[in-house]
Structure 1
Amino acid sequence: MSPTNLVAALGGAALGIVIGAIPGLGSVTGVALLLPLTFGMDPTTAIIMLGALYYGCMFGGAYSAILMNIPGDAPAVTTALDGYPMARSGRGGHALFAANIASFVGGTIGIIILTFMGPLLAEIGLLFGPPETAALILLALSSIGWLLGENAIKGLIATFAGILIATVGIGITFGQPRFTLDTMQLLNGVSFIPLVIGMFGFSQLLELMTQRHEARLEGGRITLRESILPRADLARLVPVTLRSGVLGTFVGILPGAGATTGAFLSYVLERRIGRAGAQMGKGAPQGVAASEAGNNGAAAGSFAPLLSLGIPGSGTSAVLLGGLMMWGVQPGPLLFETRPDFVWGLISSMYIGNMVAVLVGLAIIPFLVQLLRIPPAILIPVIAVVCIVGAYSVNNSVFDVWVMLIAGVVAFLMKGAGYPVAPLILAFVLAPRLEGSIRQSFDISGGDPMIFVSSPISATLLGLIVLIAVVSAARSKRTRAVASDGDG
């Protein structure tokens, strides 16, 4: 509670919101850029600032996703599925309010679980080796095709397309270039940020250009009071944020899973079991809440293996691990005993940083909603500039701008043909992790595929995949039978 640490938490949270809202940056870039500035600080103050920045980025990524359909970072992809339709239908303030409250609740759940179960969470994370991780990601991939699209076949085709795009670049297994078209720029694969900006932002720009009747807000200023969700809607969000926060936290402890997986699995769970599952993807506050609570819970959960075992649970915590070592702090099982001031100072500051982030986020809602009042004639060139600058800034490469433009046109055509874009992006994010886990599993077992059923966890997850396939097939058959009876 010292003034220095409070100022560090405030500055980190505010800066994180700004960085998270800018397409092309995200928490990994933000923490990496700020890390050199913290070398002269006390380690506790430094980690407080970086931790608050991490949380702020989780909040900020939702803003551009909701207002412009351009996710600020990967976890916000699922937020855009319901947030942007809400904004276009005049409920942008409600979407931003739901995102901030769900982020706060999900993050708080993660911090509370971390406070009381930090070392135990790390031990649970160790149970997920390469076979278990591969089965978990395969379960996610088997779900997204039919959960995020109106047509299951088209959703699966989009999923396969995302996996194919993810294979471009240097192969994980043998280090050979794959599908690079003899182009140097593709040796590292297709960049995620230009791809997602094109498929969400630039494709939306093309839709605005072809559909001038698109809805936008009219009238005077909207206050924070008018952005608050009705009491009935808030009550419906309570179970969503609670279960998504818990699920996101436990996903976050898995090494390499990260906030993106936490947000996606929380969204999938809510669409599967939630009462608003049929409305999700069309502008349901529950979809925004599930995604934001999941990614903030995962952000908190990723600190458990980092502090207890020295194993980063996400890309951002991997950067933080480097910072800890530079400050002379050695994470591991003894950290809670040798440096209790550092560990509990960090965990305590996470409560404060989370509170600061939600207060800042709620305060700027009335200003952000004004973006929705901008006439299309002005909004279209603004979005175009944001897309081009965001794509170029990743690698300072004009090639990435071309990737963004091509991805935007492809996504525009996909939407016109009824193919969902979200499964493609999510499969693109998850596929490299799946490939790496499968390769590691075969290396461990000497090529024996039985390693995937020898573990109770992986066997259970694979059983769930089979169950999902059977239930989906039975439901599809029943639907066709009912339709044929109706025609008869």
Structure 2
Amino acid sequence: MSGWEGLLHGLSVAVTPENLLFALIGTIVGTLIGVLPGIGPALTIALLLPMTYGLEPAAAFIMFAGIYYGAMYGGSTTAILLKTPGESGSVITAIDGNKMARKGRGAAALATAAIGSFIAGTIATLLLAFFAPWMVEVAIKLGAQDYFALMVVAFLTVSALVGSSPVRGLVSMALGLTVGLVGLDFQSGQQRLTFGQVSLLDGIDTVVLIVALFAMGEVLYVAAHQTTSRFDIMPVRKGKRWMSREDWRRAWRPWLRGTSIGFPLGVIPAGGSEIPTFLSYTLERKLSKRREEFGHGAIEGVAGPEAANNANAAGTLVPLLTLGIPTSATAAVILVAFQQYGIQPGPQLLDTQSALVWGLIASLLIANVILLGLNLPLIGLWVKILKIPKPYLFAGIMVFALLGTYAVNGSAFDVGVLLFFGVAGYLMRRFGFPVSPMIVGAILGPLAEVQLRRALDIAGGDVTTLVSTPFTIVVYLTLAAVLLGGFLMRRSARNDTLPAAAHDDEVPDVRESSHR
């Protein structure tokens, strides 16, 4: 099925009244989650998973798609008005967006982010629709060693390029791989790391792990380090909410350039949204004739990175849907959601679950339209939500996490696991260890083990089979280039942006990109 045929088929699935309602619910919830600092789409989808078991898969994933895109939109509001991005994809937006708000141009900054997100999200979703069938044709020809090579790429890019330290990222990944080993060995039936606990024979539930690391860890971190009970909101002055003609003239090229950077770096993968947003900002600064404005409220510094951020979000769905490989925390949670319905993403997914996949892709287009309508006229409403006192907000998250965890299997043991990994999540945040690599390692580790054992069994234990095909050689060479290029780009981007942003204010604080 071609891209156009697939989109038309998907629209016939997504535009039913019931599915449109779920798309609306998802976009509202996603925007709300994006506005609130410290929460992200991965946590939200994980919390809602137990409550969607009675839904049809298409309805549930259409709602998840709305949450995914909605959180991208809402995150810009927090970055601009609070200068507190919840994940690294919004760090650059916070620099110039917040400066625009301080100069009384917060409404223009929010409009730039919303319109840029709409344009980038729409273009990237269309690229996803046309790129996915071609990717499937390639994936069908791959062997076990090829899939293992792709998973190694996902492991190393996510762990080495996310967060402030590659070493911490690799340690976090190792912890996730260890968690993935818990339970019965699928070949020998031997118990691994169960410590005599019968409840661990089936392994650690990934939904419980995600909720623990994100929700519990975040609540404990905020409770231990908060200095005020309320968010310090930058007021949006009344006046024109729309961009001026000059703003449009300066923003449309960065929107397109940001999209062209974000989407391919989501497909590769390149370690999340941090690199494409930094790269977009650096490119816009070098191309601009008003370099002196960067770090002081340049509209290009909002337009480009926001477009790159949202295009990157769509790009991460390509390897997830066509190869079954998650390259971000949210993609990993969506993979778990597929597995909860007994569906394994991969090359056969477009054939066996065509209505579900194309309905999901089409719903991204619908969510984009809904979000544009929600964000521009309702900015004041989203800002009021930030007036909720932090103790009430995070106490509600804690209760919701506990109830959701118990609802997964109806097990008090899972609640104990939640508390254990919640403390672990707090300690990881406290000492600067990113959470995303651990999540990806725990979910993707068992799948990588299957492919590794399959490749070695076919080759009679010869380890050279892991680099025996042209595809694996190209993949490993690309991995080396991505790691080297990623470090160089991020270092160059930070050298360019951080001094400019620090002239009269500090760089926005962000812990890590765990919520993507």
TM-score, normalised via structure 1 length? 0.65
- Shifted more, 430-439 versus 10-19: the winner is 10-19
Q: 1:84 to 1:180 in 2, by over 3 A?
A: farther
Alignment of 1:48-87 (within 5 A): 52-60=62-70, 80-82=87-89
Q: Which amino acid aligns with 1:374?
A: I
What SS is found at the alignment partner of 1:216?
A: coil
1:267 aligns with 2:273: yes
Given that 1:105 and 1:242 are in contact with CA atoms closer than 8 Å, whether structure 2 keeps it comes out as no
Given that 2:26 and 2:70 are in contact with CA atoms closer than 8 Å, whether structure 1 keeps it comes out as yes
Partner residue of 1:15?
Answer: 25
Any stretches of 5+ residues in structure 2 without a counterpart?
Answer: 1-10, 34-42, 79-84, 284-300, 325-333, 344-348, 490-516
Q: Which amino acid aligns with 1:80?
A: E
Separation of aligned partners in 2, 1:473 and 1:301: 22
Q: What is the total number of aligned residue pairs between the two structures?
A: 420
Partner residue of 1:296?
Answer: 314
Separation of aligned partners in 1, 2:204 and 2:77: 26
1:167 aligns with 2:173: no
Higher relative contact order (CA 8 A, sep 6+): 2
Q: 1:370 to 1:122 in 2, by over 3 A?
A: same
Partner residue of 1:409?
Answer: 423
1:24 Cα deviation after fit: 5.3
Given that 2:92 and 2:277 are in contact with CA atoms closer than 8 Å, whether structure 1 keeps it comes out as no
Separation of aligned partners in 1, 2:149 and 2:482: 14
Separation of aligned partners in 1, 2:149 and 2:322: 22
Partner residue of 1:136?
Answer: 150
For residues 186-243 of structure 1, give each alpha carbon's deviation from its aligned partner in whole angstroms, at most 9, with x where no partner exists.
Answer: 2222222322222222222223222332572347689998799987788656433333
1:183 aligns with 2:204: no
TM-score, normalised via structure 2 length? 0.62
1:35 Cα deviation after fit: 1.6
Alignment of 1:207-222 (within 5 A): 207-214=221-228, 216-218=231-233
Given that 2:75 and 2:86 are in contact with CA atoms closer than 8 Å, whether structure 1 keeps it comes out as yes
What SS is found at the alignment partner of 2:54?
A: helix
Q: Which amino acid aligns with 2:195?
A: L
Find the partner of 2:461 among 447, 465, 473. Answer: 447
1:143 Cα deviation after fit: 2.8
Separation of aligned partners in 1, 2:482 and 2:193: 32
For residues 73-122 of structure 1, give each alpha carbon's deviation from its aligned partner in whole angstroms, at most 9, with x where no partner exists.
Answer: xxxxx973455998999969999989866764555335433655664342
Find the partner of 1:374 among 376, 388, 393. Answer: 388
Given that 1:55 and 1:296 are in contact with CA atoms closer than 8 Å, whether structure 2 keeps it comes out as no
1:142 Cα deviation after fit: 2.0
Separation of aligned partners in 2, 1:238 and 1:366: 28
Given that 1:106 and 1:294 are in contact with CA atoms closer than 8 Å, whether structure 2 keeps it comes out as no
Partner residue of 2:56?
Answer: 35
Separation of aligned partners in 2, 1:270 and 1:183: 44
Q: 1:415 to 1:398 in 2, by over 3 A?
A: same
Q: Which amino acid aligns with 2:276?
A: E
Q: 1:321 to 1:381 in 2, by over 3 A?
A: closer
Any stretches of 5+ residues in structure 1 without a counterpart?
Answer: 37-46, 69-77, 252-261, 278-283, 307-312, 323-329, 476-488
Given that 1:107 and 1:245 are in contact with CA atoms closer than 8 Å, whether structure 2 keeps it comes out as no
Q: 1:218 to 1:454 in 2, by over 3 A?
A: closer
What SS is found at the alignment partner of 1:435?
A: helix
- Shifted more, 177-186 versus 459-468: the winner is 459-468
Separation of aligned partners in 2, 1:408 and 1:346: 31
1:456 Cα deviation after fit: 1.4
Q: 1:169 to 1:461 in 2, by over 3 A?
A: same
Partner residue of 2:6?
Answer: none
Q: Which amino acid aligns with 1:370?
A: K
Partner residue of 1:458?
Answer: 472
- Shifted more, 465-474 versus 106-115: the winner is 465-474
Partner residue of 1:240?
Answer: 258
1:462 Cα deviation after fit: 2.0
Q: 1:7 to 1:270 in 2, by over 3 A?
A: same
Given that 1:166 and 1:189 are in contact with CA atoms closer than 8 Å, whether structure 2 keeps it comes out as yes
